[in-house]
Chains A and B, each alone.
Chain A
Amino acid sequence: MPVDRGWLVLGAETLSLVTACAVLAGVPLAWMLENRQFAAKPAISAIVRAAILLPAPLLIYLLVSRSLSLAAMSAAGVVAVLPLVTRQMRAAFAGLDRSYGKAARSLGVPESLVFARVELPLVRRAAAAAAAWALARLALEFAAAFWISRLRA
Chain B
Amino acid sequence: MTGVRIVLGKLDVDFGIEPGGTAIFGPGGAGKSLLLETVAGLVRPDSGRILLDDAILFDAAAAVHLPPGRRRAALIPQTDSLFPGMSPKQNLMFAARRYPRLERHRRVAEIVDKFQLNANSPRLRWILARALITEPKLLLIDDVGLDAALLREIRENTSAPVLFASRNLDLCCAADRMLVLANGRILQRGTPRQVIDRPESVEVARLLGIGNVLEATVGALDPSRNSSTLDFAHFSLNGPYFPGHFRGDRVWVAVAAENLRAHAGDAGPGPNRVPLELVGTVPRAQSVLLEFAGGVSVALSYRDYAPAKDNKSWLVEFPPSALRIL
Contact = CB atoms under 8 A, between A and B. Distances in A.
Nearest to B98: A108
A103 B94 contact: no
A122 B85 contact: yes
A106 B76 CA distance: 9
Contacts of B95: 107, 109
A115 to B, nearest CB: 12
Interface in B74-104: 74-81, 83-86, 94-95, 97-98
B287 interface: no
Interface stretch (A23-31, A73-81, A94-102, A145-153): A94-102
B85 A117 contact: yes
A102 B94 contact: no
Interface residues of B, number: 32
Nearest to A104: B83
Given A99-B78, A99-B79, A102-B75, A109 B85 contact: no
B83 A100 contact: yes
A110 interface: yes
Query: DSSP majority for the A interface?
Result: helix
A21 interface: no
Given A97-B79, A100-B83, A118-B85, A106 B130 contact: no
Interface of A: 97-100, 102-110, 117-118, 121-122
15 contacts: A99-B77, A99-B80, A103-B81, A103-B127, A103-B130, A105-B40, A106-B68, A106-B140, A107-B134, A108-B68, A108-B72, A108-B98, A108-B134, A109-B94, A117-B85
Interface of B: 37, 40-42, 67-81, 83-86, 94-95, 97-98, 127, 130-131, 134, 140
